[in-house]
Structure 1
Amino acid sequence: MEYSIRKASLEELDDAAALFDSYRVFYRQAPDLEKGKAFLKERLLNNESDIFLAYADGKAVGFVQLYKLFHYTKLQKQWLLSDLFVHPDYRGKGLSVALIDRSKQWSRETGACGLMLETEKTNDIGNNLYPRCGFEYDGQHNYYHWWG
């Protein structure tokens, strides 16, 4: 299958928003294309995230979204691989791996020390994919959330 991956700008906002909405539905959120589109637009306008889109058959079929963090022991920039999604019709064709590889390349291009991510314990696909892509499971830390 022929595909290409490119960094998203506001010109690709509609493509990114459609995939982002499907991604959120995958994580049991109500669909809200316009709210998601506004969210992504704000991230892009404020340079708060970088999004890469995978195109195949003339349409956007997958994306990854990265947020800049800073690692306290390495004293370097690090990227949070926050969102990764491939349309169900295009799964199993290597696009997730290609998007992860592009994220690794972006990490090197920007002088970052690496990538980190988290996923649900029930995400069997992701929990098998990430170790195959060179990610190491961190059983040393607990992750907590505070929703104010």
Structure 2
Amino acid sequence: MIRRLGPGDLPGLRALNRLFGEVFDEAENYTAAPPDDAYCAELLADRDIVLLLAEMDGQAVGGLAGYMLRKFERERAEFFIYDLGVDEAFRRQGIATALIDQARQIARECGAWTVFVQADVFPEDEPARRLYRKLAREEMTALHFDIAP
């Protein structure tokens, strides 16, 4: 079952962070300094932040975090899939595709004209790239730069 996290779903958000920490092997980044409850409440109330949690028998097995980006050049939006992960024991069961499909539905309902995702080019990320290629209407090569604030 996939559900969108919303106001008051702090346990779901914490479960999503733990899952991402495990799936991406970045527990330090996702769980070492968790945001406080007030910050989480703001995130969960923001309709432009889409947090999806896939669960089986009460266990978090997959998740997606995305952002609706309102555009200035036209009255439209784009939807950015920022994180997508599925527990290794539950991969190849259609969970990632189902998460993306639900995100696409939300994006359409919010007036987004496109959904996009970035993919790393490391060998271990090939399964993700295969999935994105299967769903994509276009593939673009781009460079990503992290710039200090």
What is the TM-score normalised by the length of structure 2? 0.79
Of 5, 14, 39, which aligns to 1:8? 5
**Are 1:50 and 2:47 matched, yes or no?**
no
Q: What corresponds to 2:116 in structure 1?
A: 116
CA gap of 1:15–1:68, structure 2 versus 1, over 3 A, is same
CA gap of 1:75–1:144, structure 2 versus 1, over 3 A, is farther
- Assess if the C-alpha contact under 8 Å between 1:64 and 1:84 holds in 2: yes
Residue 94 of structure 1 deviates from its aligned partner by 0.5
Q: What corresponds to 2:33 in structure 1?
A: 35
Residue 72 of structure 1 deviates from its aligned partner by 6.2
**Are 1:23 and 2:24 matched, yes or no?**
no
Could you tell which deviates more after superposition, 31-40 or 77-86? Answer: 31-40
Distance between the aligned counterparts of 1:7 and 1:29, measured in 2? Answer: 23
Distance between the aligned counterparts of 1:27 and 1:118, measured in 2? Answer: 18
Q: What corresponds to 1:77 in structure 2?
A: 77
- Assess if the C-alpha contact under 8 Å between 1:52 and 1:65 holds in 2: yes
Distance between the aligned counterparts of 1:83 and 1:41, measured in 2? Answer: 19
Matched letter for residue 33 of structure 1: T
- Assess if the C-alpha contact under 8 Å between 1:24 and 1:30 holds in 2: yes
Q: When the two structures are aligned, how many residues end up with a matched partner?
A: 144
Distance between the aligned counterparts of 2:108 and 2:70, measured in 1? Answer: 15
Q: Secondary structure at the match of 2:127?
A: helix
Distance between the aligned counterparts of 2:26 and 2:40, measured in 1? Answer: 19
Deviations 1:22-71 (A, max 9, x none): 32351545265363454654422444511111122233221111112135
Matched letter for residue 19 of structure 2: S
Matched letter for residue 126 of structure 1: A
Distance between the aligned counterparts of 1:13 and 1:135, measured in 2? Answer: 35
Q: Secondary structure at the match of 2:92?
A: coil
Identity %: 24
Structure 1: stretches of 5+ with no match in the other structure: none
